[in-house]
Amino acid sequence: MSYQLVWFKRDLRCEDHAALVEATKQGPIRCIYILEPTLWMQPDIALQHFEFIRESLQDLEIQLRLRGGAVEIHVGEVTEVLTKIWQASPFQGLHSHQETGNKFTYSRDREVNKWCQSHSIHWAEYAQFGVTRGLKNRNEWQANWQKHMEAPLCELPAIQFWAAPHSGKLTRNSSAHYLTPSMMQAPMHLKHNPPLRQRGGRSIALKVLNSFLKQRSMHYRGGISSPLTAPDACSRLSVYLSYGCLSIREVVQATNEELLKMPPEASRRKSGLTAFMSRLYWHCHFIQKLESEPAIEWQNMHRGYDGLREHEFNDDYFNALKDGRTGWPMVDACVIMLRETGWLNFRMRAMLVSVAAYPLWLHWKPVGDWLATQFLDYEPGIHWSQLQMQSGTTGINVTRVYNPIKQAQDHDRKGFFVRKWLPHMRQIPNERLFEPWKMTHEEQSGVGIYVDKDFPQPIVEITIATKKSKDRLHAVRNLSEVQAGKKSVIDKHTSRAKRTTRKNPKDKAPAANLQLSLEF
Ligand SMILES: Cc1cc2nc3c(=O)[nH]c(=O)nc-3n(C[C@H](O)[C@H](O)[C@H](O)COP(=O)(O)OP(=O)(O)OC[C@H]3O[C@@H](n4cnc5c(N)ncnc54)[C@H](O)[C@@H]3O)c2cc1C
């Protein structure tokens, strides 16, 4: 008996899973995940991503076993794996979610498409975000997003799993060799698995969602900017959305339900959840940019900025940044926190990119590849759009420069954050902590901590270096041809979102009450 093949990608769940549901409606199904050697060789991938996926697949395996099935892990390039499976037991259709990934997955999906055509297989791809494939312009985008989020969650009927011929049940080696999730082994070359990172799987994701909706959202407004409060105040859902342990639609709908049943006295939580909802909209808004223009992963969104930073990359500066040795305590503490936990809040991510792009004058691409390996929640669409926006190469956003000394004064007033991640600096008094190189010799011997010996001087003088960089950027920005080039970027990538005012507070339509912020 033939079957439908369900290819799990960055959608590691059973709930609200269009590919699984639609395949199941058409007959017996077989579920696979493919470990692609070439994908794991890309510069934007790390061991932490592999381990997170493994944990999520173990959780998925439990969910599928409860329904009488399993997920097969195949190792190989996708078209090779499909060929082997096909030769052993041909399938009728291939089902997966659309992926807005990196250059590698984009080309791979084109190959898969060709393979399907040559085997007369229909490849059904389903949207899992509010992202529109083949979008001509942004005019209808917000309405499409809203429609996607308001649609009912896909309900999974009873599944009939395909049984390999002659065996009566799924077994290893029955038709093509495969592994179970617990047998997965990370490729030897992969590095970086932060000890304090979030763990994978839908069961954990649901707990994180629940604790945020019911409690932690209380601190969202006012708590998300400081790296001290952000780890609890932020939802921490990014990685579960990136790997699809949760669907964004179920998060939007659960948030909206929570908003609708909230008593008036819960105003702090309400404003927190409203602000959070805007971020869920930004999520898809940014991914749409990469979907519409895959090249923004490797070339400037506005080509008028080509050549600006490409030819002056300073490896010493880059190494100092990666090692947490820039000499700016707030920057170095963020790098260490990121290394240990795989996560940073938005403001501190923006500050790291700003320091790289302005005082250090580093091109966003190598910086972005490095940060992608550090962020457990690496989502190419958000990541590359943000890298370009924070580096000033979109041509349409205001120049964003975050001074790390001011950020420290504003968001770590008493120095708890810097002292936590840079313990060797604990004895430095508050008034010198964020600019320790200003300590006099007496002050240094008083605390027994010495400039150059115990911590480095800043690698550049920040005010002068930042001003020089901004001047260079603005000189390009003011060129008439660069000004003229803005229109096509605006047409393609900017939101036409309108602030929706809430007419009826009892309005039941999910997502209808969105207060969308236009800060993009
Ligand atoms: C340089 C840079 C790179 C980034 N790279 C990524 C990335 O690879 N993956 C990623 O998920 N986020 C990325 N972000 C956006 C943001 O920093 C993270 O989404 C957020 O810190 C994740 O924590 P959270 O889930 O607790 O966020 P919350 O504040 O609770 O937000 C909820 C969700 O909204 C989305 N979101 C939040 N902020 C943004 C934003 N500014 N733009 C788009 N979507 C947003 C995320 O899906 C997030 O999970 C990046 C930001 C910057 C400045």
* Cα-to-centroid distance, 346 and ligand 1 (Å): 6
- Dist CA 447 CA 426 (whole Å): 10
* Cα-to-centroid distance, 388 and ligand 1 (Å): 15
With a 6 Å cutoff on the Cβ, whether 308 touches ligand 1 is no
272 and 520 in contact (C-beta within 8 Å)? no
Tallying the residues shown for the chain, one arrives at 520
- Residues of the chain with pLDDT below 70 are 166-176, 497-520
With a 6 Å cutoff on the Cβ, whether 284 touches ligand 1 is no
* Cα-to-centroid distance, 183 and ligand 1 (Å): 32
With a 6 Å cutoff on the Cβ, whether 220 touches ligand 1 is no
Nearest to 111 by CA among 186, 38, 22, 11: 38
For residue 239, the ligand 1 atom closest to its alpha carbon is 11
With a 6 Å cutoff on the Cβ, whether 35 touches ligand 1 is no
Residue having the nearest C-alpha atom to atom 24 of ligand 1: 236
The pairing of strands 71-75 and 93-97 is unpaired
The predicted-structure confidence for 355-375, as pLDDT tens digits, reads as follows 999 999 999 999 999 999 999
pLDDT at 497: 62
123 SS3 class:
strand
pLDDT at 176: 57
pLDDT at 421: 98
Q: Max alpha carbon distance in the chain (Å)?
A: 83
For residue 383, the ligand 1 atom closest to its alpha carbon is 5
283 and 51 in contact (C-beta within 8 Å)? no
342 and 48 in contact (C-beta within 8 Å)? yes
Nearest to 378 by CA among 225, 243, 281, 279: 243
For residue 372, the ligand 1 atom closest to its alpha carbon is 8
The predicted-structure confidence for 387-420, as pLDDT tens digits, reads as follows 999 999 999 988 889 999 999 999 999 999 999 9
∠ CA 15-236-324, rounded to 5°? 135
Sequence-ordered list of residues with C-beta below 8 angstroms from that of 274, at least 6 positions apart, any chain? 259, 513, 514, 515
Predicted TM-score (pTM) of this structure: 0.94
Q: What is the 3-state secondary structure (H, E, C) of 222-247?
A: HHCCCCCCHHHHCCCCHHHHHCCCCC
